[in-house]
Amino acid sequence: MEENMDLASVEASANNENLKVHNYSRRLEDTFGGLPDTPSKSPALKKPRSIASDSVSNSVLLAAIEKVSKLQEESLVKLHSVEASVKDNTASICNLTCSLESINKQVEDVTDKVLSLQAKVVKLEKENKALNEKCSGLDSYKRRWNLRVAGIPEHEGENVKMVVIELFRNLSPHSAEKLQDMVDIAHRLGPKSGNTTPRRIIVQFLSRTCRDAIWAEAKRSELLKQKKIRILEDLTQEDKEARNKLWPLVEKARKEGKKAGFNGPVAFINGKRISVYDI
């Protein structure tokens, strides 16, 4: 009984609520007027597809598929070509690598040999320089037994040795007896030519003392100046070049009234020794 009463009360309450909503809606309609009718449009009917459009779509799709297939085939051909090129290039690179390794080894061997040869060349250059200096020194020392004579007229069939001995006798009478034995060799220098200038004479002495005596007399001889004959030292090319470099100093010292001269490749100014290495 109690349950029936509760259900009846709930239904009555719901009816009351519905009545309230109905009354509220009625009041709104009285106030604002009724709502307009807004019927919705019916959906458009689907057009049936035609058979022709389906066939066109299929042909276009088939053509596209064939084109894509053709492009794929061409791409595969190109890909195979690229793969073959890559393989060839790889083989070529391997061959080049082997060649480069071989060349590199050869270069290393050649470099070692070059370095070894360079060391030998440096050593040989030092030895050659030392030998040249030694030979030049020996040549210069040997020439200290020689004198050169310039300005003696040249005649056909002349006895050059006797001509020189006669000149030296007039130059140094106290050495006249020894000159025949002390003069070893005397001859003209160079081949005979049509030049009117007489060739110089080289004289080699057996005695250094005799040679120095003639050289000392020649420096202050008036006879030689009158006959326009000069007696010179027999110098090497290196000694001549050294004297040419030192000559300005000697010339300046002589103009200043100083005692200056040469002894071989070395200059002496007031007793002071000066070489090319000092300037």
How confident is the model at residue 233, as a pLDDT?
92
Is pTM, for the whole model, over 0.85?
no
> Does residue 250 share a domain with residue 194?
no
Domain coverage including residue 267:
235-279
How confident is the model at residue 64, as a pLDDT?
86
> Does residue 224 share a domain with residue 91?
yes
Residue 156 lies in a domain: yes
> By three-state DSSP, how is residue 74 classified?
helix
> Does residue 244 share a domain with residue 186?
no
> Does residue 141 share a domain with residue 88?
yes
> Does residue 197 share a domain with residue 74?
yes
For residues 240 and 163, is the Cβ–Cβ distance under 8 A?
Answer: no
What one-character DSSP code corresponds to residue 206? S
Of the candidates 178, 181, 189, 180, the one whose C-alpha atom is nearest the C-alpha of residue 147 is 189
Residue 39 lies in a domain: no
How confident is the model at residue 10, as a pLDDT?
46
Residue 180 lies in a domain: yes
Q: Quick one: tokens of 165?
A: 């001995």
Average pLDDT, the chain: 82
Residue 144 lies in a domain: yes
Q: What is the pLDDT of residues 42-79, one digit of tens each?
A: 555 555 555 555 556 788 888 888 888 889 888 888 89
How confident is the model at residue 262, as a pLDDT?
87
> Does residue 244 share a domain with residue 111?
no
Residue 4 lies in a domain: no
> Does residue 200 share a domain with residue 127?
yes
> Does residue 143 share a domain with residue 125?
yes
Tally of domains in the chain? 2
Q: Give the chain's count of helices (H) and strands (E).
A: 7, 7
Distance in angstroms (rounded) separating the CA atoms of residues 181 and 179: 5
Residue 16 lies in a domain: no
Distance in angstroms (rounded) separating the CA atoms of residues 257 and 73: 109
Residue 8 lies in a domain: no
> Does residue 253 share a domain with residue 174?
no
What single-letter amino acid sits at 15? N
How confident is the model at residue 11, as a pLDDT?
54
Residue spans of the chain under pLDDT 70: 1-56
